[in-house]
Amino acid sequence: MITKLIDQSKMLRQGRQANDRFWRAGGVDEALKKLGEDTPFWYIAERGIAASEHHQENLTAEIDRSTWIIMSINRAVEDIQNRLQDGLSILATVGSTAPFVGLFGTVWGIYHALTAIGIAGQASIDKVAGPVGEALIMTAVGLAVAVPAVLGYNLLVRRNKAGMERVRAFSADLHSVLLAGSRVGEQRQMAEAA
């Protein structure tokens, strides 16, 4: 959970930097240089620019330029989304199975306590309370593992959604720039001014 939180914080910070640096550059190539090469935003921009340049080589003549660029950008966005989801399935599995593992431990402990009582032939409270109390500790441990795992999973999923909103907004703006030379909002403002 901690490493995912660090990764997400890093990506959100990189998203703010990408908006500050990329959109203030004079051109797309200059803007790409301003992004750090280890950021998801650089990866999207690099894939979009490469698709834009590749389309001019006539290898993709049957696909219009806009479709080719958006396909490449969408593949990059999906790659980033898949990387963000790494490890979340393990966390979800731990959160959903830990209570059952604890319950199994409790049932196992109670079974052994009852077996010991049956062998001894006496069912007094001191013979029952100790072993059953120890067995219930397993349920508590299972819940102590499951509750933070489920809460952490939900937090990480929500933060992933926020990060992916920034990634998708960036990719839509990049697509617009690669096709028309201006951001989506700037096109709307220019159309309204005309």
| CA–CA distance, 165 with 102 (Å, rounded to integer) | 38
As a whole number, mean pLDDT of residues 86-92 equals: 88
| Residue 148 to residues 32, 92, 126, Cα–Cα distance (Å) | 40, 11, 34
| Contact of 118 with 154, CB cutoff 8 Å | no
Average pLDDT along the chain = 82
Tell me, what's the pLDDT at 57?
Answer: 58
Flag whether pLDDT at 191 surpasses 50.
Answer: no
pLDDT digits (tens, 9 = 90+) for 120-144: 777 777 777 777 788 888 889 989 9
The Cβ-side half-sphere exposure at 53, using a 13 Å CA radius, reads 8
Q: Which two tokens stand for residue 85?
A: 């989801």
